[in-house]
Chains A and B, each alone.
Chain A
Amino acid sequence: MAKQYETVIGLEVHVELATKTKIFCGCSTAFGGAPNTHTCPVCTGMPGSLPVLNKQVVEYAAAVGLATNCEITKHCKFDRKNYFYPDNPQNYQISQLYLPICRNGHVDIELADGTTKSVRIHEIHMEEDAGKLIHDDWEDVSYVDFNRSGVPLIEIVSEPDMRSAEEVIAYLEKLRLIIQYLGASDCKLQEGSMRADVNLSVREVGSSEFGTRTETKNLNSFSAIARAIEAERDRQIDLIESGEPVIQETRRWDDNKAYSYAMRSKEDAQDYRYFPDPDLVPLNISDEWLDEIRSRQPEFKTEKMKRYSEEFGIPEYDINIITDSKKLADIFEATTALCNQPKKVSNWILGETMRILKEKEMEPEDITFSPENLAKLIKLVEAGTINGSVAKDIFAVIFDEDVDPESYVKEKGLAQVSDEGELRAVVEKVIADNPQSVADYRNGKDKAIGFLVGQTMKAMKGKANPGLVNKILKELL
């Protein structure tokens, strides 16, 4: 009988924090500036410059720690991780090794079979991001852009508690949701504001010892993570089955080729010569400060679900989808507060909003329209000013440009026509022009009326009150 293997996985997750300025200087963390425009002597490693800690980084890191049940290290320090690379202007990265800000936490994940599992968090530490190298193959030179240098990161290190890709993704989704609810990061894998490295080993089922692990990097989506886990598991089992050793190494995943290759083995692992950064004083997190951070913790998904069910009475299904994104939950709450129509708001979110997001391959976090305009749109439909199909068209414009639907309706003349005289004239013309359909209807083909309604709407450019059109048609026929 073939041997049965178990996959053992731990994750190192880097999250870019949503602070306005960098971790050790006042430079902007905004994306997209021209190279080296968000820089200063500190984040370009100029001689004589010194780091000064951004307190917001500590607050975000501690907030994530509290939300993941960690112990907060009240007296923590920053250490220098020394290694030479041109994207690292000082040739050391300021990070935390000896006294990370958070330790010994856990998050509970829900699995498809309805069970829950606790994944332990070894530690969370704060550190600075590096710059970016841009290679010019034509000129055979490399340039460095320090705009990202000094952008704050937290690294969340789990224990090797996961056993499958499903668990890994459930864990990552849970982390992402917590961090998004905290507003600590937008956690976009594609853009690199959340990055996961997978430490994986396999062992025979029943064994209590761990196998040799590898670390896989460059995983830019949940699906890539799932594929990389399957591939690495298979690769290691193949090695073991053929009697070859698994080498402890760092591997890089190429998602297009669905293949990973070795970057460096443990033998050429560098000695980072960590030591406490003498330019930064030890950080003391007082009880008062921690209480303040704790008091600002938001309502997370579980509490929100409970409250929505009690307060808004919308279906469990709707609540689950809405609360799966901080952004959607925010839009739902703000819009409902303005129009007091929770079910209608939920319908717009679950329906048109999700449809357009999918169509445009966007995440809820990319939404830019305001709750005010959605609320106005709902009110316009409610008041009969516009009909449902026009509302969908207007919503598409709101989604893209966040237009004010009231002025948009006026400007484009989209208000619903409910003037019976005007409609009757159009309906009369449609009846005259379509004798065959009229005959069909009169011969008992009820469906034919649908065609006549459609022709009327078309003649009215979609603005006709559909109820009224139906009524007039039936009268005249």
Chain B
Amino acid sequence: MGLLDLTAAELAGQIKAGKTTAVEAMEAVIANIDSKEKELNCYVTFDREAALSAAREAQKKIEAGELDGPLAGVPVAIKDNMCTKDVLTTCSSKILGNFVPQFSSDAVERIKAAGAVMIGKTNMDEFAMGSTTETSAYGATKNPWNTQHVPGGSSGGSAAAVAAGECFCALGSDTGGSIRQPASYCGVVGMKPTYGTVSRYGLIAYGSSLDQIGPLCKDVTDCAVIMEVMAGHDPKDSTSVERKDTDFTSALVNDVTGMRIGIPRDYFGDGLDPQVKKAVLDAAEVLRSKGAVVEEFDLSLVEYAIPAYYTIAAAEASSNLERFDGVKYGYRAKDYEGLHSMYKKTRSEGFGAEVKRRIMLGSFVLSSGYYDAYYLKALRVKAMIKKAFDEAFSKYDVILGPVAPTTAPELGSSLADPIKMYLGDIYTISVNLAGLPGMSVPCGKDENGLPIGVQLIGDCFNEKKLIQTAYTYEQARGKFE
């Protein structure tokens, strides 16, 4: 078994035990990047010298006994919408093509404090807007299982890097499914925590009321380890929650006896690929056989989630992205006459088509005369969706369903029809609207060998139940290959 077969937690254990070093681990990752990256394009920024010297530094500290966190010496990839001090942070956009932050995001600071060594910044859909990583200004990322297919998105670079062994684990962000869906497409574990669990400070905002940072990793144990490292109250983020139950590794228990699992019938209707359906229901059977109480129920309101989500997320995005104007940092158009021409040209040239579409949509729903009809109505739908979940969680510990209607589509097949692409978010976005934790765990493959993920959704602050359920399932399933 090679180094790259180890999980992040296993690697940290071996480094701690002196069986390998942070430098050897980084060298193994770099060798793998050298052979695969040209085809996969997981990274926007990868500086081998910086990565190696960071690994050497970490190893020195580990040997000196100064660094013994749970990720000590582990090479980690960071999605390119998280600020990293002195390291280019582009959001995969031309408009931030030269942007080097003055500070690192809180989540990055926390994993670094736990010993993680950054490899580079992963590719994504521009400003996290997209479901395929094809809207990146720096080229699409390919799915390591089949490079004719997309890795999903928007955290596609992070998911593909984990699946391809171009890192041991990665950070992603999830506004409407951007961790869970690429995790599903790439056969890795991904978690979107309860809103407020991981600080958003330093995460370049897309939809502020929906965005959460979370891990993409090789297995459930890594997921729990990284969550434990990243979760915590941050006074710099007003939406950050103070919670004491963040000892997520304590939930790595192989037992679901009596766990009440609800399967929403609404998630298994038209549009769901039969192969995905079968794999997901098989996973539910596995959990039933392990002692869980599994039953179907009607969640309701599912069809309203997509319009509500695209109204709220686009509204927030239209305002969040106003600061990219060519005045202070980032791209500025070359030829312009006067201030307004500078704004117009900079933003027209700096943003890609999908970002512009969402800015226009968001500006529209907030404009005077439409605010009540669209934005306020969407907020009401959001509140109703939360209520529907509250009712469900009065009966169930965990909701189980598909992550996405299909497996990874072929490259180039999604962007032509944005509505179809938006509909692909149907199972993931209500989780963001309701602020809930959600997880994607590999549960099978389709006939083309593309991975399928099962989604586990918990009530707010119930990540532990998800981890316990996922861990038990993973133990029964065996290694995902």
User: What residues of chain A have their CB less than 8 Å away from a CB belonging to chain B?
Assistant: 41, 44-53, 80, 82, 84, 86, 89-92, 144, 271, 273-275, 278-281
Contact = CB atoms under 8 A, between A and B. Distances in A.
Nearest to B84: A48
B319 A144 contact: no
B367 A46 contact: no
Contacts of A47: 83, 89, 91, 96, 99, 101, 204, 323-324, 329
Main secondary structure of the interface of B (DSSP, over half): loop
Interface of B: 82-83, 89, 91, 96, 99, 101-103, 105, 200-205, 207-209, 235-239, 315-316, 318-319, 322-325, 327-329, 339, 343, 363, 366-368, 371, 375
Contact of B343 (A80, A84, A279): A84
A444 to B, nearest CB: 84
Contacts of B201: 48-50
Given A45-B328, A279-B238, 10 more contacts: A46-B101, A47-B324, A48-B204, A53-B238, A80-B319, A91-B323, A92-B319, A278-B239, A279-B208, A281-B238
Contacts of A84: 322, 325, 343
B319 A273 contact: yes
Nearest to B234: A50
A82 B367 CA distance: 10
A84 B319 CA distance: 10
Contact of A273 (B82, B83, B363): B363
B209 A48 contact: no
Given A48-B201, A84-B322, A278 B339 contact: no
Contacts of B238: 50-53, 279-281
Nearest to B330: A47
Contacts of B339: 86
Contacts, number: 94
A32 to B, nearest CB: 23
14 contacts: A45-B328, A46-B103, A47-B329, A48-B101, A48-B103, A50-B237, A50-B238, A52-B238, A91-B322, A91-B323, A274-B366, A275-B375, A278-B208, A280-B238
Nearest to A42: B236
A262 to B, nearest CB: 19
A273 B200 contact: no
A11 B282 CA distance: 69
Given A90-B322, A275-B375, A279-B238, A48 B367 contact: no
Contacts of A49: 201-202
Nearest to A87: B327
Contacts of B205: 48, 279
Contact of A82 (B322, B328, B329): B322
B102 A46 contact: yes
Given A92-B319, A275-B315, A278-B316, A44 B328 contact: yes
B101 A86 contact: no
A41 B103 contact: yes
B277 to A, nearest CB: 35
A275 B202 contact: no
Contacts of A46: 101-103, 328-329
A44 B325 CA distance: 13
A281 to B, nearest CB: 5
